[in-house]
């Protein structure tokens, strides 16, 4: 059973310099009770993907093709504003990257937690009790007293835990976590990840976990997708991707991860070249300008090649050996 099924999703933005194709034929599924990771460099379309799912694309952005099927087959890409809003916060909750700015600075935490329960008809007192229970779940000490405090009175890690408490308060079926640990330091990161995993099992929701930290993805996720320049270049189980990556971009990404370097490198390896200008996408494979094994065939659009059950790479050369490890 899947909670989220994205098919052939393309999103365009109208900009001054022409149309920018931010997402191109994106395919991804989030099964029930699973955690799916999304990795990619900044600018690869991760945020656009989230905004498209949430129906929060900027005014100049639009879905040009594809469907975003949620639970029983509601298409989020073509849902009207009111229906979409009814899902947000209740069925689909989000934790954003920046814990400092994610809460309204001039409203108390209690007020904000009460406000997001606006659909519930219970009394104010009961809503507050529910908030306290949630805060306790994310291990905020002394939650009754904390309710009347303002966001700046909490540390970054605490704010992120409050954001998680708010997101899970309505027991959503899908939690979108947009780099929730990027702004935090390493020790906090571990506790937040553990907390997320524990609560996910408790509530039984699915998670779409966006990160550029491969270690976190390996630790937390059952499945993952790799994004590059608005395309899903490879997807599969976490084990598939880490042990049997087939797309050249995925291989380079793995090779560049400092945690996986087999020997001490004098400097961290990086992938040569830069992201293509998405207003002028290259024809065919989007990665060909930075790819060492690109050849003539790469000028036409590569197929989504199935490598194993659920393991797919968008590349012409999935079976070829790659010498990435050597260059790293």
Partner 1 sequence: MLRYALKRLGLGIVIVSVAMMMLFAMVYVIPGDPASVALGPRATPQMIEALRARMGLDQPIWMQFLKFYTSAVRGDLGTEVLSGRQVLDVVFEQIPFTLALIAGAISWSVLLGIPLGCIAAVRRGGFVDRVVGILSVAVIALPSFVIAIYSLLIFAVALRWLPAIGAGEPGNLKSQLSALILPSLAVGLGWVGYIARMVRASMLETLEASHIRTARAFGLTDTRITYSYALRIAILPTITLLGVGIGHMLSSSVFAEIVFARPGIGKLVYEAISVRNYPIVTGAVLVTTVFFVVVNVLADIVIGALDPRVRASFD
From 20-28, 65-73, 81-89, 268-276, give the range in contact with partner 1 by CB under 8 A. 81-89
Nearest CB to partner 1, comparing residues 104 and 323: 104
Structure tokens at 254: 């793995």
Q: Which is nearer to partner 1, 112 or 191 (CB)?
A: 112
Tell me which of 85, 139, 260, 279 binds partner 1, using CB under 8 A.
85
Among 28, 166, 286, 313, binds partner 1 (CB under 8 A): 166
x/- mask, partner 1, residues 121-160, rule CB under 8 A, reads: -----------------------------x-xx-------
- The smaller minimum CB distance to partner 1, of residues 157 and 172, is found at 172
Minimum gap (Å) between residue 154 Cβ and partner 1:
11
Could you give phi then psi for residue 31, rounded to 5 degrees?
-70, 160
Of 197, 178, 201, 242, residue with least CA distance to 32: 201
Report long-range pairs for 261-265 (Cβ below 8 Å, ≥24 apart): 261/328, 265/328
Task: Give the nearer residue to partner 1 in terms of CB position, either 169 or 256.
Answer: 169
Strands 174-178 and 92-95: parallel
Which H or E run includes 85?
helix 81-87
Kindly identify the residues of this chain, within the stretch 102-121, that bind partner 1 according to CB under 8 A.
Answer: 102-107, 115-116, 118-119
d(CA 133, CA 274): 47
What does the alpha-carbon distance between residue 319 and residue 42 come to, in Å, rounded to a whole number? 28
CA atoms of 228 and 24, how far apart (whole Å): 10
Question: Considering the rule CB under 8 A, would residue 86 count as an interface residue with partner 1?
Answer: yes
Binding site for partner 1 (CB under 8 A): 54, 56, 85-90, 93-94, 96, 98, 101-107, 115-116, 118-119, 150, 152-153, 163, 166
């Amino acid at each position: 059973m899947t909670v989220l099924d994205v098919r052939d999703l393309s999103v365009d933005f109208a900009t001054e310099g022409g149309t920018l194709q931010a997402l191109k034929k994106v395919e991804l599924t989030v099964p029930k009770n699973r955690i799916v990771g999304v990795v990619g460099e900044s600018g690869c379309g991760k945020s656009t993907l989230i905004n498209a799912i949430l129906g929060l694309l900027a005014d100049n952005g639009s879905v040009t093709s594809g469907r975003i099927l949620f639970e029983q087959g509601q298409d989020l890409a073509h849902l009207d504003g009111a229906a979409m809003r009814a899902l947000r916060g209740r069925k689909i909750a989000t934790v954003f990257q920046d814990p400092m700015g994610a809460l309204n600075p001039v409203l108390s935490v209690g007020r904000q937690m009460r406000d997001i329960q606006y659909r519930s008809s219970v009394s104010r007192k009961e809503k507050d009790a529910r908030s306290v229970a949630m805060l306790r779940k994310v291990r905020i000490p002394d939650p009754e007293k904390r309710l009347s405090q303002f966001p700046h009175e909490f540390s970054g890690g605490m704010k992120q835990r409050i954001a998680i408490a708010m997101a899970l308060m309505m027991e959503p079926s899908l939690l979108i976590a947009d780099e929730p640990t990027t702004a935090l330091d390493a020790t906090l990161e571990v506790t937040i990840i553990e907390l997320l995993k524990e609560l996910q099992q408790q509530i039984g929701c699915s998670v779409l976990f966006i990160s550029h930290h491969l270690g976190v993805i390996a630790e937390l996720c059952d499945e993952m997708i790799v994004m590059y320049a608005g395309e899903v270049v490879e997807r599969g189980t976490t084990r598939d991707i880490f042990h049997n990556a087939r797309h050249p971009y995925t291989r380079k990404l793995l090779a560049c991860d400092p945690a996986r370097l087999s020997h001490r490198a004098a400097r961290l390896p990086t992938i040569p070249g830069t992201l293509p200008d998405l207003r002028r996408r290259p024809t065919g494979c989007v990665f060909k300008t930075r790819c060492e094994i690109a050849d003539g065939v790469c000028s036409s659009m590569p197929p989504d090649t199935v490598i194993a059950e659920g393991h797919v790479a968008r590349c012409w050369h999935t079976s070829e050996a790659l010498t990435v490890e050597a260059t790293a």
